[in-house]
Structure 1
Amino acid sequence: MEKYYLLKTEPTEYSYDDLEREGKTVWNGVKNPLAQKFIKSMKVGDKVFIYHTGNEKAIVGLGEVVSQPYLDENNLYVVDVKPIKRLKPLTLKEIKSIPEFKDFYLVKMPRLSVMEVPENLVKLILEKTQ
């Protein structure tokens, strides 16, 4: 069964618009060991929520992993991601107001840039972003 992950990006550096325009990108620059562990566990077909940091602080899009994890020139694991669709933004403020999210990495470890999304939270996010 496919898994869902959340990928954070600073929209002034790389946004969901950029992903849509390019059609596919290498998700790179992730150095945190826990985030690297999540990237290494990704499989082709897994889905990714794209989260804009900075002033937006919101889940804004849905994408898909289209490659197995591989090492880049910096010896860090990366995956290729393509866009699926833009979502109705779900802000961090809204997420923090929903009790089910209290133990989610996005709330508990705000600096983590890649994280797995538990199945029960996937359903909630999809409901809130349609």
Structure 2
Amino acid sequence: MAYWLMKSEPDELSIEALARLGSARWDGVRNYQARNFLRAMSIGDEFFFYHSSCPQPGIAGIARISAAAYPDPTALDPQSHYHDAKASAEKNPWSAVDVEHVQTFRQVLGLGLLKQQAALEELPLVQKGSRLSVMPVTAEQWAAILALS
């Protein structure tokens, strides 16, 4: 099993919404490196659910990959915020995965707290200039973050 961190704006999809829904499609990723990470995911992989672009950014809980990568349908939908005019049914460069709720943390683990952890200094999330919405997490980093929760 691999570990990941994935970012979502809470008004798009929050950990609370995922808990209510049980499962959802994780779509709209429009960065090739992040897309490649989606494609590397396997059913059963777990990820930290990170709330971004909000008053309190941070890790809000844990979710699991429930369906491996498939073509992102939002790329083909002209009504979608994530529409890609260059994408077609035959050549859709973007991927989505299905996810399911595992756990909501009692408190969000804020970015400031995460940056203070020596064990996380190599985590792309805490490195200056890193804006990836999907990133791998090592087993050691996963354990260090779990210890904070």
Q: TM-score range by the shorter chain?
A: over 0.9
4+ runs deviating over 6 angstroms: none
Counterpart of 2:104 in structure 1 is 86
1:64-84: CA deviations, max 9, x gaps?
100111112322111100001
- What TM-score does the superposition give when structure 2 sets the normalisation length? 0.82
Q: Work out whether 1:44 is the aligned partner of 2:64.
A: no
Q: Distance in 1 between matches of 2:97 and 2:16?
A: 19
> In the comparison of the two structures, how many residue pairs are matched?
128
Percent identical pairs in the alignment equals 34
Match of 1:120 among 117, 140, 143: 140
Match of 2:116 among 97, 108, 112: 97
Displacement, 1:12? 2.1
Note the residue ranges of structure 1 that are not aligned, 5 or more in a row. Answer: none
Displacement, 1:100? 2.0
Displacement, 1:13? 2.2
Displacement, 1:103? 1.8
Matches within 5 A, 1:1-130: 2-53=1-52, 54-73=54-73, 74=75, 75=92, 76-87=94-105, 88-108=107-127, 109-129=129-149
Q: Distance in 2 between matches of 1:20 and 1:77?
A: 23
RMSD: 1.1
Q: Distance in 2 between matches of 1:100 and 1:62?
A: 19
1:55-103: CA deviations, max 9, x gaps?
1111011111001111123221111000011124211101111122222
Note the residue ranges of structure 2 that are not aligned, 5 or more in a row. Answer: 76-91
Contact 2:61–2:104, Cα closer than 8 Å, also in 1: yes
Q: Distance in 2 between matches of 1:34 and 1:47?
A: 19
Q: Distance in 1 between matches of 2:119 and 2:47?
A: 19
Q: Distance in 2 between matches of 1:45 and 1:68?
A: 9
1:96-124: CA deviations, max 9, x gaps?
11122222110125311011101110000
